[in-house]
């Protein structure tokens, strides 16, 4: 075949494919144009994830009627005019290619009006045909409608993902813009329903709370190094190892390994959601690396690394508020909770536990010297069999009577077990109890606990949930979708997690499922970790009923002597040991 020039329309279509890959590229380009036009409100509406139709409408400066045909010409832009301008790009667009590319591969309709014009203009193009232009009554601002993307490039159209997958990407990009431009109001409608909205003129932290949820608290810090000013926001999620970073440089969303590495470079665990906002003179950063991609080049990458690392480190050092509420230790077992049915037969309680263990084996050095009982007066702690103090009967093997004596100021619980004295660490004991209950419960399948009030999920979570809904449902989560919002209606029925917030439980589960493919093995361990955090603390003053319930439940554990991490849960001082100590034997 001889060499020949491709017809202009074919060449345009091929070139357009480089700029416009899928619906999200169209949405991103159109929103960038709206932001460059100084808009304070941008609404995006898509049908079928943008495969059928995308409309982006703004209240920006508009395009003068005589310029409208130019706007859809290749390499026509109002944003730069000389090669020098390329070194200091202050707008999001500058190539003058987006509208021309979109026009080449779709049916395009633009209506626009500047505030100097009484009437606006209307332009229509189909697959790169020459534009039809007319006058049109419209509001100040611009409305761009892109229908049937790739209708004339069937090979490309085949590569589009499902409407759901395309919508997920679009939602993410709209959310990212809303974080970058908190003073602009954004609305996203999908198939006629509003699925995301910000109000504009608001604090960035408010936008982040809307996306991530109110809890845990969002921390912030700022700093500067060389030409880079950096502000960081971090929602620290201690149980989640995933570090999710949204980075912006001069208002442009970027993916950058330096920023990510700097966040993770500290010694502490950086898990959770991050926003990194970098401002720098435009000539310090080259955004012209890859068309339609988000990579950038920094002239002084070392300074940027140091600025982000220092900011992140200063936040990691901060202690976080204890936002978890105190769990209620139940003395009665509500329906549906695992009730221990028997104590190990013929075994005295914690018999295997070494009294006063010490490396030398002498035991004397670790002996407690003084005892101070805090709350239980002598009459109250008169010996009572355990079974009389609890509301639901447990078949405890015949054996010595137990009595609860009280709680030391240091938090340990003191019991008399047939003349032996047993000290219990309530936290370790509670951890052990929860651990074994969760293991047992999960080994027989996953149940659901319906929430009295369904919980609205923050948008970032809703989209994560969306693509692993089946797996989440298989472990007990129940969702419903109404008015474009995802509601959490039920959570796995996990013992020991009643004080864990449903969103927190979901977040931990989503993180666990996205890091692992084997659902069964990982789930109960993750939940057990959650339950550990929610276990009673050594410093809490416990009621007699709570203390007795701990005893009762601990004796039903397979390994009552230690918490799941191996720390001892109980310490026994036998009557023999006492007798020998007091030289009575």
Tell me which residues touch ligand ADP (CB under 6 A): 29, 33-34, 37, 58, 60-63, 71, 77-79, 93-100, 142
Residues contacting 272, CB < 8 A, separation 6+: 216, 234, 235, 236, 237, 238, 240, 243, 244
Give the residue closest to ligand ADP by C-beta: 93
Distance CA 110, CA 121 (A): 8
Nearer to ligand ADP, 108 or 312 (CB): 108
Token couple for 435: 């651990």
The residue with tokens 């950063």 is 285
CB of 336 to Mg ion, least distance (A): 57
Cα distances from 573 to residues 124, 359, 421, 485, in angstroms, run 89, 17, 5, 58
**CB under 5 to 8 A by kind: which of ligand ADP, Mg ion, none does 176 bind?**
none
CB of 155 to ligand ADP, least distance (A): 24
Residues contacting 531, CB < 8 A, separation 6+: 431, 434, 435, 438, 494, 495, 496, 497, 500
Angle at CA of residue 304, ends 300 and 310, nearest 5°: 145
CB of 212 to ligand ADP, least distance (A): 29
Nearer to Mg ion, 62 or 93 (CB): 93
**CB under 5 to 8 A by kind: which of Mg ion, ligand ADP, none does 465 bind?**
none
Among 44, 454, 29, CA closest to 252:
29
Nearer to ligand ADP, 71 or 105 (CB): 71
Query: 3-state secondary structure string, 214-267?
Result: CCCCEEEEEEEECCEEEEEEEEECCCCCCEEEEEEECCEEECCHHHHHHHHCCC
Q: Is 250 in the site for Mg ion (CB under 5 A)?
A: no
**CB under 5 to 8 A by kind: which of Mg ion, ligand ADP, none does 244 bind?**
none
Q: Is 98 in the site for Mg ion (CB under 5 A)?
A: yes
Nearer to ligand ADP, 55 or 308 (CB): 55
Is 348 strand, coil or helix? coil
Residues contacting 66, CB < 8 A, separation 6+: none
CB of 91 to ligand ADP, least distance (A): 7
**CB under 5 to 8 A by kind: which of ligand ADP, Mg ion, none does 524 bind?**
none
**CB under 5 to 8 A by kind: which of ligand ADP, Mg ion, none does 60 bind?**
ligand ADP
Is 169 strand, coil or helix? helix
CB of 218 to ligand ADP, least distance (A): 32
**CB under 5 to 8 A by kind: which of Mg ion, ligand ADP, none does 61 bind?**
ligand ADP
Distance CA 49, CA 378 (A): 71
Nearer to ligand ADP, 37 or 396 (CB): 37
Nearer to Mg ion, 98 or 163 (CB): 98
CB of 20 to Mg ion, least distance (A): 12
Nearer to ligand ADP, 29 or 466 (CB): 29
Contacting Mg ion within 14-73 (CB under 5 A): 33
Residue span 426-445 as binding mask against Mg ion, x where in contact by CB under 5 A, dash where not: --------------------
Q: Is 403 in the site for Mg ion (CB under 5 A)?
A: no
**CB under 5 to 8 A by kind: which of Mg ion, ligand ADP, none does 386 bind?**
none
Nearer to ligand ADP, 79 or 161 (CB): 79
Nearer to ligand ADP, 83 or 335 (CB): 83
Number of residues written out for the chain: 585
Q: Is the peptide bond before 360 cis (omega within 30 degrees of 0)?
A: no
Residues contacting 292, CB < 8 A, separation 6+: 18, 19, 20, 21, 25
Among 438, 441, 446, CA closest to 528:
438
**CB under 5 to 8 A by kind: which of ligand ADP, Mg ion, none does 63 bind?**
ligand ADP
Distance CA 580, CA 585 (A): 5
**CB under 5 to 8 A by kind: which of ligand ADP, Mg ion, none does 202 bind?**
none
Q: How many residues bind Mg ion (CB under 5 A)?
A: 3
CB of 168 to ligand ADP, least distance (A): 24
Among 410, 440, 428, CA closest to 532:
428
Nearer to Mg ion, 33 or 463 (CB): 33
CB of 269 to ligand ADP, least distance (A): 41
Q: Is 93 in the site for Mg ion (CB under 5 A)?
A: yes
Distance CA 46, CA 33 (A): 17
CB of 40 to ligand ADP, least distance (A): 13
Q: Work out the end-to-end distance of the chain between its first and last CA atoms, rounded to an integer number of angstroms.
A: 110
Nearer to Mg ion, 42 or 394 (CB): 42
**CB under 5 to 8 A by kind: which of ligand ADP, Mg ion, none does 400 bind?**
none
Contact 385, 402 (CB under 8 A): yes
CB of 128 to ligand ADP, least distance (A): 14
Give the residue closest to Mg ion by C-beta: 93
Token couple for 341: 């049915």
CB of 459 to ligand ADP, least distance (A): 25
- Phi then psi for residue 233, to 5 deg, are -125, 140
Taking the mean position of all CA atoms in its chain, how far away is CA 323?
Answer: 16
Q: Among positive and negative, which fits the CA dihedral 98, 103, 107, 110?
A: positive
CB of 320 to ligand ADP, least distance (A): 43
Contact 461, 417 (CB under 8 A): no
Q: Among positive and negative, which fits the CA dihedral 475, 480, 481, 483?
A: negative
Is 126 strand, coil or helix? strand
Nearer to ligand ADP, 149 or 438 (CB): 149
**CB under 5 to 8 A by kind: which of ligand ADP, Mg ion, none does 71 bind?**
ligand ADP
Nearer to ligand ADP, 143 or 427 (CB): 143
Q: Is 101 in the site for Mg ion (CB under 5 A)?
A: no
What residue ranges bind Mg ion (CB under 5 A)? 33, 93, 98
């Amino acid at each position: 075949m001889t060499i020949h020039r491709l017809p202009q329309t074919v060449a345009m279509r091929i070139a357009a494919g480089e700029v416009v890959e899928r619906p999200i590229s169209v949405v991103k380009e159109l929103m960038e144009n709206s932001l460059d036009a100084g808009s304070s409100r941008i609404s995006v509406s898509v049908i079928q994830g943008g495969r059928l139709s995308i409309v982006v409408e703004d209240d920006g400066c508009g395009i003068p009627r005589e310029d409208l045909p130019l706007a859809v010409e290749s390499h026509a832009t109002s944003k730069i005019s000389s090669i020098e301008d390329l070194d200091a790009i202050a707008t999001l667009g500058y190539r003058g290619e987006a509208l021309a590319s979109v026009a080449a591969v779709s049916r395009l309709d633009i209506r626009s009006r500047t505030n100097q014009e009484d009437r606006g203009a209307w332009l229509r193009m189909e697959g790169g045909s020459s534009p039809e232009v007319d006058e049109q009554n419209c509001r100040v601002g611009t409305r761009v409608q892109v229908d049937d993307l790739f209708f004339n490039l069937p090979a490309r159209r085949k590569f589009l993902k499902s409407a759901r997958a395309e919508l997920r990407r679009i939602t993410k990009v709209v959310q990212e813009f809303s974080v970058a431009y908190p003073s602009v109001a954004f609305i996203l409608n999908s198939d006629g329903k509003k699925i995301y909205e910000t109000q504009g003129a608001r604090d960035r932290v408010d936008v982040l709370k809307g996306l991530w949820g109110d809890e845990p608290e969002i921390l912030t810090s700022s700093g500067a190094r060389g030409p880079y000013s950096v502000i960081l926001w971090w929602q620290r999620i201690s149980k989640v190892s995933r570090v999710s970073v949204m980075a912006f440089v001069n208002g442009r969303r970027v993916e950058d390994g330096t920023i990510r590495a700097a966040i993770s470079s500290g010694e502490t665990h950086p898990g959770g959601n991050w926003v990194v906002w970098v401002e720098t003179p435009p000539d310090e950063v080259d955004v012209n690396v890859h068309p339609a991609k988000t990579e950038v080049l920094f002239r002084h990458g070392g300074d940027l690394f140091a600025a982000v690392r220092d900011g992140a480190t200063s936040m990691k050092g901060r202690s976080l508020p204890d936002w978890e509420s105190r769990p209620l230790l139940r003395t009665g077992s509500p329906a549906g909770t695992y009730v221990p049915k028997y104590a190990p037969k013929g075994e005295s309680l914690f018999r295997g536990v070494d009294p006063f263990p010490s490396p030398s084996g002498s035991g004397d050095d670790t002996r407690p010297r003084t005892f101070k009982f805090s709350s239980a007066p002598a009459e109250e702690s008169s010996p009572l069999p355990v079974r009389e103090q609890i509301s639901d009967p447990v078949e405890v093997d015949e054996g010595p009577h137990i009595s609860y004596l009280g709680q030391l100021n240091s938090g340990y619980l003191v019991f008399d077990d047939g003349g032996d004295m047993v000290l219990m660490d309530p936290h370790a004991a509670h951890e052990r109890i929860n651990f074994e209950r969760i293991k047992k419960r999960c080994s027989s399948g996953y149940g659901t606990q319906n929430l009295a009030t369904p919980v609205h999920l923050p948008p970032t979570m809703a989209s994560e949930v969306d693509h692993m809904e089946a797996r989440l449902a298989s472990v007990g989560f129940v969702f419903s979708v109404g008015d474009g919002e995802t509601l959490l209606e039920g959570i796995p029925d996990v013992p020991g997690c009643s004080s864990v917030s449903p969103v927190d439980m979901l977040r931990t589960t989503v993180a666990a499922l996205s890091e692992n493919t084997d659902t069964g093995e990982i789930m109960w361990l993750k939940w057990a970790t959650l339950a550990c955090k929610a276990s009673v603390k050594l410093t809490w003053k416990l009621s007699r009923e709570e203390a007795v319930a701990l005893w009762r439940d601990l004796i039903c554990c397979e390994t009552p002597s230690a918490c799941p991490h191996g720390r001892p849960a109980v310490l026994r001082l036998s009557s023999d040991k006492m007798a020998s100590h007091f030289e009575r034997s």
